[in-house]
Structure 1
């Protein structure tokens, strides 16, 4: 029973670890450069897998991006220069967290603006509904009352 519990806990521990797709031949010899490459890769989106960073993706394009990051670091680029190079080549979509510059501010503000608009529209609707007069109730005509009695007696 203890062995089964141990095997089960080890199996669950394997699932809890992050699944990194970085191949041994991609890893840089310098641990500091490798850590910088990992830090940069955390913020770069795999263009095939969409919402995975390039370190977690097994796609060929993600591998190419990982190699490109490491190549630029070996050439002496700073972290910002590497990210700028990749954004210039693949567009801002490659960033997992886009910047708030240019037209992106509208995308960042769209959610809160739509919420404010919906709250305003709801308030106007409720205010108008509270002020509305109840419709005047009309009595049934003689013919309608006779028909109603006939239906209810059946």
Structure 2
């Protein structure tokens, strides 16, 4: 008889836990599902403004991550920069105003495509100069190799006969 009493006591103690878990599982499912329908805080009310926001955040570099756009970076500073871009666009600033603000604050590094200026000219001119140098070196090598190949085999055959 003691076994039966112990078994009943266990069932009675475990029953409230099971019912609590049974209530919490659907509640958790509803709360998790509701998060999927939440409005993105970076979404702007105007679709044109949203497109400008997306273009600017993909054009600006995260100053902490250095190889990621602020749109893709999980860094805290990138979040602050995204919020700053959003606030400036909502205030009616143009894309150039946003870029100039970021340039004044963080320098040319913040742009993935730096502007052409005397300070950044090397960024734009170096690839072309290296391409020209490479083409010139390749041309000289090809020219030197063709100069070494005799066009007529008869003089060589005469040299071998001697």
Task: Report the TM-score when normalising by structure 1.
Answer: 0.59
| Other-structure match for 1:10 | none
Please identify which structure carries the higher helix content. Answer: 2
Instruction: Give the drift of 1:124.
Output: 4.1
Equivalent position of 1:94 in the other structure: 110
| Structure 1 gap segments, 5+ residues each | 1-22, 133-154
Q: Work out the CA distance in 2 between the residues paired with 1:124 and 1:48.
A: 45
- Which of residues 44, 60, 65 in structure 2 aligns to 1:28? 44
How many residues are matched? Answer: 112
Q: CA deviation at 1:65?
A: 0.6
Larger Rg: 2
CA change 1:129–1:30 in 2 (3 A) is closer
Shift in Å, 1:122: 4.4
CA distance in 1, matches of 2:139, 2:48: 56
Tell me which residue corresponds to 2:87. 71
| 1:41-60 aligned within 5 A | 41-60=57-76
Aligned partners of 1:85, 1:113: CA distance in 2, in Å?
Answer: 32
1:115, CA displacement in angstroms? Answer: 2.5
Among 134, 145, 150, the alignment partner of 1:118 is: 134
| Higher RCO (C-alpha 8 Å, min separation 6) | 1
Gaps of 5+ in 2: 1-38, 149-162
